Amino acid sequence: MRLVAPYVFASIATLGGLAAAHADPLGECTAELEAHGVTWKKASRPGIAHPVEVTSALGGLTLTSADQPLVIDCSLAVSLAEAGHYFRALGIERASFSSAYSRRNVRGTNRPSKHSFGLAIDVHTFTGPDLGTLRVDRDYEQGLGDDVDCLGTPLTQGGAVLKVLQCQLVRSGLFHLVLSPDYDDAHHDHFHLEATPWGDRSALRATTQAIH
Ligand SMILES: [Zn+2]
């Protein structure tokens, strides 16, 4: 049961394109976004190497915030668009974020957070027609799973959906970092999803299949 083969061929072709088109990294990245059916507008924010304002769903997932447009680095947008099938397979159509681009340091340090570069997004709720709305602060069950069995034994259906999602995002290779309430108290109410800068990334496609 592996769906990897077509992605491998696509990846090789795309990476070949990456090398050839190195002079225009934003063009390469936005071409990849458009290949995922994503629409976007040019944006400009200090600190973001390849800023885009996403104006459509990403891989079938609509990400909204109460107070800001979705302005992120194109590389993060590509990761979210490719990860969309994990969300959709779990019945998730919409998600809310509190913070995407934000100039700030990692808490308790002088290091700029990846949010400063548009490479990270904090996602708090997940909604779908059969799921209702799952909230990370209420429905995520902490302390499940280990390195061998990521999933563990969730007690609730909502907890199971959030844990499957988290495990799949971690294993997809699309994100440099996926932090959950298990990481520390600052993450008690959201998933922090962080992508690798476009010029440094090797994986454009998810390497594991979606679990329903
Ligand atoms: Zn974050």
d(CA 119, CA 77): 9
Strands 177-179 and 132-135: unpaired
Alpha carbons within 13 angstroms on the beta-carbon side of residue 6 total 2
Distance, CA 80 to ligand 1 centroid (Å)? 15
9-66 per-position pLDDT tens digit: 444 444 444 444 455 777 899 999 999 999 999 999 999 999 999 999 999 999 999 9
Segment 81-101 shows an average pLDDT of 96
Distance, CA 76 to ligand 1 centroid (Å)? 13
Distance, CA 121 to ligand 1 centroid (Å)? 6
Cα separation values, 69 from 56, 90, 171, 177, Å: 11, 25, 28, 23
Q: Which long-range CB contacts under 8 A does 99-105 form with residues at least 24 apart?
A: 100/65, 100/68, 100/70, 100/71, 100/72, 100/76, 101/45, 101/47, 101/48, 101/51, 101/68, 101/71, 101/72, 103/46, 103/47
Q: Which pTM does this prediction carry?
A: 0.86
Distance, CA 82 to ligand 1 centroid (Å)? 20
Distance, CA 151 to ligand 1 centroid (Å)? 22
What confidence category does residue 7 fall into, taking pLDDT thresholds of 50, 70 and 90? very low
What confidence category does residue 5 fall into, taking pLDDT thresholds of 50, 70 and 90? very low
165-205 per-position pLDDT tens digit: 999 999 999 999 999 999 999 999 999 999 999 988 877 77
Distance, CA 115 to ligand 1 centroid (Å)? 7
Distance, CA 60 to ligand 1 centroid (Å)? 22
Please calculate the CA angle 149-150-155 and round it to the nearest 5 degrees: 95
Distance, CA 125 to ligand 1 centroid (Å)? 14
What confidence category does residue 111 fall into, taking pLDDT thresholds of 50, 70 and 90? very high
User: Has residue 134 got a pLDDT over 60?
Assistant: yes
Ordered structural domains, the chain, with CATH: 4-200 (3.30.1380)
135-165 per-position pLDDT tens digit: 999 999 999 999 889 999 999 999 999 999 9
Distance, CA 107 to ligand 1 centroid (Å)? 10
**101 within 8 A of 48, measured Cβ to Cβ:** yes
Distance, CA 63 to ligand 1 centroid (Å)? 15
Maximum Cα–Cα distance across the chain: 51
Distance, CA 197 to ligand 1 centroid (Å)? 16
**77 within 8 A of 106, measured Cβ to Cβ:** no
CA 201 to chain centre: 14
Q: Where are the alpha helices (DSSP H) in 67-187?
A: 74-89, 136-139, 157-171
What confidence category does residue 209 fall into, taking pLDDT thresholds of 50, 70 and 90? confident
Distance, CA 12 to ligand 1 centroid (Å)? 31
